[in-house]
Amino acid sequence: MRLVEIDETTEDTYFRCLHDEIPADPRVMAMRRDWRAMYKPKGHRAKVLFDDADQVVGLTNYIPVEHSPYEGENLMAILCMWIHGYEHLVGNQQSKGFGRFMLAEIEADALQSGCDGVTVWAKDYADWNPVAFYEHMGYERVDQAGLDILAWKRFNQEAKPPAFLKQPSVPEVADDQKVQVTSFTNGWCGGGCQQCVMVRDAVTELGSDAVLTEIYAHEKGDMRDRGASIDVVYIDDVPFRPNGPPATKNEFKQSVLERARQKSP
């Protein structure tokens, strides 16, 4: 196994979150490449995991916490870790020790970089990125927002605990007739960028039923001002599927249309 920085042969797979079986949306790819170009000089790591057969079976990206969507000091912040869990291509590679190996490599990098610890965002359920995995690897919960958990492993007593940014500010609904859709996007997450583009297309197709406000904030100051640690979409003042699986465009459109019917006199 080897965990290596992406290059011209692997960056496409990385930016597509291992979804090599479907065509990439050039708008999503552009968002991800632009964010990477801005944050690589600030210490962002974008890596893919090869197995012993030289197949890509996982990916991760992490960055000094000062440039992450979390509050903290002198920590390495894991933005995502993903071991191939699909049935296509190389097949489901989870529960084979790849995640354990990847996490150990990240911790070794953090130590070598002089960090006081590592922090990671996870979920308090088993379906995706479960915090239980990190707890099994010696991490402790340090902050919580709903089902979102921030965990960390300290390397020394000088380490200061990280925290989520404040909760997202609920958008004000300014129009009693049209549905207000607000899309917050950080830029580092493939799923978040995909969601941003999907929502944009959906609102365009809905025409006069909805109006879209896109907020792209990637600098720490921007994230503090908007009050969000993660990508989120609001339909009026209600977050859309904050903990559910990714939605299709038609599912999102149906939710907007249902809200529009509720607002109709």
Q: What would be the CATH architecture of the domain defined by 179-263?
A: 3-Layer(aba) Sandwich (3.40)
Q: Is the pLDDT of residue 200 over 90?
A: yes
Q: Provide the pLDDT for residue 97.
A: 93
Q: Provide the pLDDT for residue 263.
A: 83
Superfamily name and number for 2-164: Gcn5-related N-acetyltransferase (GNAT) (3.40.630.30)
**Model confidence band, residue 177 (pLDDT cutoffs 50, 70, 90):** confident
Where are the domain boundaries for CATH 3.40.30.10 in the chain?
A: 179-263
**Model confidence band, residue 228 (pLDDT cutoffs 50, 70, 90):** low
Q: Is the pLDDT of residue 169 over 70?
A: no
Q: Provide the pLDDT for residue 246.
A: 82
Q: Which residues of 174-211 are buried (b: 16+ CB within 10 A; e: fewer)?
A: eeeebbbbbbbbbbbbbebbbbbbbbeebbeebeebbe
Q: Is the pLDDT of residue 65 over 70?
A: yes
Helical (H) or strand (E) element with 198: helix 190-206
Q: Provide the pLDDT for residue 90.
A: 86
Where are the domain boundaries for CATH 3.40.630.30 in the chain?
A: 2-164
Q: Is the pLDDT of residue 64 over 90?
A: yes
Q: Is the pLDDT of residue 149 over 70?
A: yes
